[in-house]
Structures are given as structure tokens and as C-alpha cells.
């Protein structure tokens, strides 16, 4: 074997027959791993988490806000001293003296305040919550669609790696047959039956197959690393693919509207909510508040006299210097952009289904034709071998027929791969999860 060929042979063992230390990997295992470890799946997961966090935070539209404040101060400001002594419950008659009022001694105030703010009607916050919840729903649907795309990419990569390994196997068999032919030609030449030209042609065919075998060995490495990347593993890991490249008649029916279209529809609902939020700027907001406060001259928590305050506040801003108009117009423009994206995506989805259906039918027909062509090529090889052994056929005829048979075997593998991937592509186009 040539040195530049043998240097790649070891790499093809990555996906060949089982070896010690190899990790078996079925398609189902690859799909399950990629669902959580694929870079695309992880990005979609954290994006969904972020959107759900936004929706959770929007609950402030109707939930109370509770605060606890601890403070301490020392002052001789007349107004502050007067109020502090009142709060601490130690204001005395002597404190009414003019000098005591104008030039009081410094006092210390340690305060503890428990306050509650309860939104009663916050139109902007309420409509903003609707937008956040729609965004969270869009995030979940986007994650679902990403999972379907990841499944398709894993299937394509898994069987792409399987195809690369099978190509190596076919080329190994073709190379072995070519070497046997070369040995036969060399024997005939020594016997004077054929010429040196016949030997050179046979040797050229061996070299051609060795080059193709080397290229296929490199393709095995690239295909395996792509699969490992999709399942979140380090490149170079040694795996054994346990699923063969075969077609299946099981084909799921249309699963309903695609998750990516539902995500865009949820995004449009979110934009509608943002328009409502922008319009609610001109509505008043209503809130209630209350607090309990303790004041003492000594350090401590919730010590000293306790006082309470409760109230209601209504806030209305009928004019915001046209910034409110700008916010509304921007929200309306973003809503129309979201609507346009949804309509375009719906048209594109219908086109994808039509294209995927046609490609699947064509791939199935191509595979059937490749199988028929291979059967005919195999018969031609057997006939040509017998004719050459009997001295009826020339070496060029035998080599051409064997080259055609080898090409047909590779073409059948490629057609089988394309048909299997076309099945998965149609499932994806219909909105399902390829398996």
C-alpha cells in the first residue's frame, strides 16, 4: 500500500467495524443527546429561559412590593429635631422654649420602616405583561422548532458519516478486486497472453482507486467530527455507528401548524400587546400604599413608638411632549413588521413542503433507478470477467465495466443517503420531528 494511503487508513476505523474502546452510538442516542447538548439546542434553551424570566418579572403589574428600610441619623436641625422627638414620643413642655426650638441639642434617630405598595390599576404594566407572556410563548415554540431542526441536522450528519464509512468499504472491495485483476494481468503478461499496455492500464486503475480510498478516508474524519459537534462532543472521539443506512416506509402524517409559524404568531400577539401598552399611556394609574414606622434614640430593630400611614395615589400624564406619540407609532410599525414576517414565513413554509415532497419523490425514484443500474452492472462484471479469462475480451473492456460497477455501487449509496435525508426533510417541512 502506498504511504500516503496508509496514513489515512487508521482514520477510517473511526466508523468502521467495532473495535475495542469504541463507543456505540445509535441514531436514537445521537438524537437524544443532541436534544440537550447541541449548541443550537442549548442556545434556544437559554433564550427561552430568558423570555420566561421576563414574563415572570412582568407579574409586578398586579403583585405588591414590600420594602424594609433601616436608617440612623443624628442632627441638630431645628425642624428635624422637632419631628424626631415627636416620632420618638419624648417631646416635652421644655422643648417649646424659644431657645430650645431655635437652637436644639443634637438628637439621634434610629428608624425601622415596613412599607407596602399595591398596584390597583396599572394599564401600561398590565399590557406589558401580556407582551412578555407572548414573548415567553414564542420562546418555547422557537425552542421546539430548533429541536426539530437539530434532529434533522443530526440525521443528515449521522447518515452522512455512515455513508462515508460505507463508501470506504465499497472502495476497499473495489480496490481488492482491482488488485486481483492486476495480479491476473501480470500472470497473463508473463505467459505472453497480454501486452505491457494491459498491465499498465490495470495498474493505473489500482492507483485511481487508492486515491479515491484516501479521499474517502479523510471524508470519514470530517463527517464524524460534524456529528460529534452536533451532539456536543469533542472532535476526534471514537464512536461506532450502530444504525445502517436504510429506508423506512414509516412516515408520520402532517403534525399541524409548524412550531416556527406558531412562534411568529405569538410574536405578533406580543407586538399587538405592545401597541395596547403604548395606547395605555394616556390612561391614569392607581395604586395604594401603606407603612409602619418605628423611631427610637437607641440602636435596635423595630424599637420605639410605632406609627402607620396609608394612602391612595392616582397618577395621570395626559401629555408627554410627543414622546408618547413616538412610542405608539414605533409599536404600530413593529407590529406590521411582525405581521409581514409571519405572512412571508407562511408562504415560505408552503413552498418548502412542495419542494420537500418533490425532492423526496425524486430521491426515491433515483434510489430505485440506482438499484436497477447496480444489478445490471454486477451482471456485466461477471460476464466480462469470464470473457477476459477466456481471452475473448480485452483488458480495457474489463476495467471499464468494473469501474462502472464500482461507480454504480457508490451511486446507490449516495441515492440511498439522499432518499433517507429527503424523508427527514419532508417531516421537518411539515412541522414534525424527524426520526
Cell of 430: 411539515
Asked which of 45-49, 93-97, 125-129, 419-423 is least confident by mean pLDDT, the reply is 93-97
pLDDT of residue 17 exceeding 60, the answer is no
Domain definitions of the chain by residue range: 3-62+123-283+325-430
The predicted structure's pLDDT at residue 13? 41
The predicted structure's pLDDT at residue 19? 46
The predicted structure's pLDDT at residue 186? 84
The predicted structure's pLDDT at residue 71? 94
Of 236, 213, 228, 238, the residue nearest 8 (C-alpha)? 213
Cell of 116: 407596602
Angle at 210 between CA 205 and CA 213, to 5 degrees: 125
The predicted structure's pLDDT at residue 392? 61
Distance of CA 287 to the CA centre of its chain: 43
Q: What is the mean pLDDT of residues 330-347?
A: 96
Q: pLDDT-derived band of residue 388, with 50, 70 and 90 as boundaries?
A: low
Contact 57, 132 (CB under 8 A): yes
Contact 309, 291 (CB under 8 A): yes
Separation between Cα atoms, residue 256 and residue 431, nearest integer Å? 7
Distance of CA 250 to the CA centre of its chain: 26
pLDDT of residue 271 exceeding 80, the answer is yes
Grid cell 425642624 in the structure block, residue: 79
Provide the greatest CA pair distance for the chain: 140
Q: How far, CA to CA in Å, does 382 sit from each of 177, 181, 194, 276?
A: 12, 13, 20, 78
Separation between Cα atoms, residue 55 and residue 129, nearest integer Å? 6
Q: What is the mean pLDDT of residues 284-300?
A: 93
The predicted structure's pLDDT at residue 250? 62
Q: pLDDT-derived band of residue 237, with 50, 70 and 90 as boundaries?
A: confident
The predicted structure's pLDDT at residue 12? 43
Q: What is the mean pLDDT of residues 260-284?
A: 94
Q: What is the mean pLDDT of residues 157-161?
A: 93
For the chain, give the mean pLDDT. 87
Asked which of 199-213, 262-276, 344-358 is least confident by mean pLDDT, the reply is 199-213
pLDDT of residue 320 exceeding 70, the answer is yes
Separation between Cα atoms, residue 336 and residue 321, nearest integer Å? 25
Q: pLDDT-derived band of residue 306, with 50, 70 and 90 as boundaries?
A: very high
Q: What is the mean pLDDT of residues 252-258?
A: 68
The predicted structure's pLDDT at residue 92? 87
The predicted structure's pLDDT at residue 398? 67
pLDDT of residue 29 exceeding 50, the answer is yes
pLDDT of residue 209 exceeding 90, the answer is no
Q: What is the mean pLDDT of residues 282-309?
A: 93
On whether the 3-62+123-283+325-430 domain is CATH 3.40.50.11540, my answer is no
For the chain, the three-class secondary structure string (H helix, E strand, C coil) is: CCHHHHHHHHHHHHHCCCCCCCEEECHHHHHHHHHHHCHHHHHHHHHHHHHHHHHHHHHHHCCCEEEEEEEEEEECCHHHHHHHHHHHCCCCHHHHCHHHHHCCCCEEEEEEEEEEEEEEECHHHHHHHHHHHHHHHHHHHHHHHHHHHHHHHHHHHHHHHHHHHHHHHHHHHHHHHHHHHHHHHHHHHHCCCCCHHHHHHHHHHHHHHHHHHHHHHHHHHHHHHHHHHHCCCCCCCCEEECCCCCCCCCCCCCCCCCHHHHHHHHHHHHHHHHHHHHHHHHCCEEEEEEEEEEEECCCCCCCCCEEEEEEEEEECCCCCCCHHHHHHHHHHHHHHHHHHHHHHHHHHHHHHHHHHHHHHHHHHHHHHHHHHHHHHHHHHHHHHHHHHHCCCCCHHHHHHHHHHHHHHHHHHHHHHHHHHHHHHHHHHHHCCCCC
Q: pLDDT-derived band of residue 253, with 50, 70 and 90 as boundaries?
A: low
pLDDT of residue 3 exceeding 80, the answer is no
Q: What percent of the chain has pLDDT over 70?
A: 91
pLDDT of residue 53 exceeding 50, the answer is yes
pTM of the model: 0.79
The predicted structure's pLDDT at residue 118? 94
Q: pLDDT-derived band of residue 405, with 50, 70 and 90 as boundaries?
A: confident
Higher pLDDT: 291 or 403? It is 291
Cell of 337: 413588521
Separation between Cα atoms, residue 142 and residue 48, nearest integer Å? 8
Asked which of 282-286, 287-291, 375-379 is least confident by mean pLDDT, the reply is 375-379
Q: What is the mean pLDDT of residues 178-198?
A: 81
Q: How far, CA to CA in Å, does 366 sit from each of 226, 415, 420, 425?
A: 26, 6, 12, 16
Q: What is the mean pLDDT of residues 385-402?
A: 68
Question: What end-to-end distance do the CA atoms of the chain give, in Å?
Answer: 40
Burial of 281 (0-12, 13-18, 19+ CB in 10 A): middle
Asked which of 11-25, 77-91, 384-398 is least confident by mean pLDDT, the reply is 11-25
Q: pLDDT-derived band of residue 91, with 50, 70 and 90 as boundaries?
A: confident
Amino acid at each position: 500500500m502506498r504511504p500516503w494511503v496508509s496514513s489515512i487508513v487508521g482514520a477510517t476505523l473511526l466508523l468502521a467495524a467495532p473495535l475495542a474502546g469504541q463507543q456505540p452510538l445509535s441514531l436514537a442516542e445521537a438524537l437524544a443527546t443532541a436534544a440537550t447538548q447541541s449548541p443550537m439546542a442549548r442556545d434556544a434553551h437559554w433564550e427561552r429561559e430568558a423570555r420566561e424570566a421576563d414574563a415572570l418579572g412582568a407579574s409586578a403589574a398586579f403583585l405588591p412590593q414590600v420594602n424594609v428600610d433601616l436608617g440612623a441619623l443624628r442632627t441638630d436641625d431645628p425642624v428635624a429635631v422637632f419631628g424626631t422627638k415627636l416620632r420618638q414620643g419624648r417631646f416635652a413642655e421644655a422643648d417649646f422654649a424659644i431657645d430650645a426650638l431655635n437652637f436644639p441639642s443634637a438628637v439621634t434617630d434610629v428608624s425601622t420602616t415596613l412599607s407596602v405598595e399595591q398596584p390597583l390599576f396599572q394599564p401600561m404594566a398590565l399590557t406589558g405583561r401580556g407582551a412578555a407572556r407572548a414573548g415567553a410563548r414564542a420562546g418555547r415554540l422557537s425552542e421546539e422548532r430548533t429541536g426539530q431542526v437539530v434532529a434533522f441536522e443530526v440525521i443528515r450528519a449521522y447518515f452522512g458519516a455512515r455513508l462515508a464509512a460505507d463508501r470506504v468499504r465499497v472502495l476497499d472491495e473495489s480496490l481488492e478486486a482491482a488488485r486481483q485483476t492486476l495480479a491476473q494481468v501480470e500472470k497473463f503478461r508473463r505467459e505472453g497472453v497480454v501486452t505491457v499496455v494491459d498491465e499498465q492500464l490495470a495498474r493505473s486503475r489500482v492507483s485511481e482507486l487508492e486515491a479515491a480510498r484516501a479521499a474517502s478516508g479523510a471524508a470519514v474524519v470530517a463527517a464524524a467530527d460534524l456529528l460529534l459537534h452536533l451532539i456536543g462532543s469533542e472532535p476526534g472521539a471514537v464512536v461506532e455507528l450502530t444504525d445502517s443506512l436504510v429506508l423506512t416506509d414509516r412516515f408520520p402524517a402532517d403534525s399541524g401548524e409548524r412550531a416556527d409559524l406558531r412562534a411568529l404568531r405569538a410574536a405578533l400577539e406580543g407586538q399587538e400587546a405592545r401597541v395596547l401598552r403604548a395606547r395605555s399611556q394616556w390612561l391614569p394609574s392607581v395604586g395604594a400604599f401603606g407603612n409602619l414606622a418605628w423611631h427610637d434614640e437607641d440602636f435596635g430593630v423595630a424599637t420605639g413608638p410605632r406609627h402607620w400611614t396609608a394612602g391612595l395615589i392616582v397618577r395621570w400624564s395626559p401629555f408627554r411632549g410627543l414622546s408618547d406619540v413616538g412610542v405608539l407609532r414605533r409599536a404600530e410599525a413593529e407590529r406590521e413588521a411582525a405581521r409581514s414576517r409571519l405572512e412571508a414565513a407562511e408562504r415560505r413554509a408552503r413552498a418548502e413542503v412542495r419542494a420537500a415532497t418533490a425532492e423526496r419523490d425524486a430521491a426515491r425514484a433515483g434510489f430505485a433507478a440506482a438499484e436497477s443500474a447496480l444489478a445490471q452492472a454486477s451482471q456485466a462484471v461477471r460476464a466480462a470477467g469470464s470473457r477476459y479469462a477466456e481471452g475473448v475480451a480485452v483488458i480495457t473492456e474489463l476495467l471499464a465495466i468494473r469501474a462502472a460497477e464500482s461507480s454504480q455501487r457508490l451511486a446507490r449509496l449516495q441515492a440511498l443517503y439522499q432518499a433517507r435525508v429527503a424523508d427527514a426533510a419532508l417531516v421537518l417541512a411539515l412541522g414534525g420531528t424527524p426520526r
